[in-house]
Amino acid sequence: MPPIQVLAHAKINLALYVLGKRPDGYHDIATVLQLVTLHDTLTFDFDTSTYSFACSDPALADPESNLVTQAVRALEKAAGRKLHVAVHLGKAIPTGAGLGGGSADAAVTLRTLNERLGLGLAPRDLYHLAAGLGSDVPFFLTSGQALAEGRGERLTGLSLPTNYHVCIAFPGIHVSAHDGYSRARFTLTNPLGDRTFGRYLTPESFGGWIRSCANDLEQGVAVSVPDVTQGVRAMRALGAIHAAMTGSGSAVFGVFESPVPADVKERWPYAGSWRVFTAQPVRILGLPLPS
């Protein structure tokens, strides 16, 4: 079997509302997730007698601490056998940015190895394994648009417009999900909790809806990472109709009705370790959601 390459797309949280803290220590949330074209690249080579892992980013080179290896171990336990594959992870999605890179890598590993090695796990089984790896890993098994509730594992598919453009900026400051949620501002009512959400959000109403979106984690993270506020302001100055932090940060994004200026990196007003990306929303052929 020849080696294969698979893309693991980043996500943005178009809206994220924190509804309260759960007895298990997690938070109940309602968030609209969208895959974008920014991606990592995973290469799977099956011409090997063991498992190995390598990464283009030396900081992520330890196999046992990487979510890719954890996904492999979860598959091995479920399948009842060792998996022989050499995985190389080419990183492009910044880590600790709220873009879901590690979760995307894990989900792609689950799905690809199940298919290519004939493990026979049903979509429901893969979603169960994904939820055990992280709250947002199940989303990356979907077609790329979803309303996520609970701690993020309860998913409802959406059909949202994708005829807009995205700019993402990462200030080089890593924020853990724990730190982000520890300072969360709670929303008193759930504006996304109605499961008919995707029915009434039409292409005609999308522009108005996106302008009203917010991320309840943004204000708390910005206290210790002022770059978040600066990044959101810069996006709006560039013409974004909506700008916010994604996930628990510290990356920010802007939604643009027209293509993002080609010289956006040169026009970015802040120096330092900022990384600026242009992207577009994307849909993929995902697994059916468990009923």
With a CB cutoff of 8 Å and minimum separation 6, the contacts of 256 are: 164, 165, 166, 167, 238, 239, 240, 241
- Whether 249 and 96 have beta carbons less than 8 Å apart is answered as no
Q: How far apart are CA 264 and CA 277, in angstroms?
A: 9
- Whether 94 and 101 have beta carbons less than 8 Å apart is answered as yes
Read off the tokens for 88.
Answer: 């190389």
DSSP letter at 57?
S
CA distances to 3, 31, 105, 117, 260 from 189, rounded to whole Å, are 49, 13, 33, 45, 34
Angle in degrees, 0-180, between the axes of helices 101-116 and 123-133, rounded to the nearest 10 = 150
Task: Look at residues 80, 79, 141 and name the one whose alpha carbon lies nearest to residue 106.
Answer: 141
For the annotated catalytic residues, the residue numbers are 11, 136
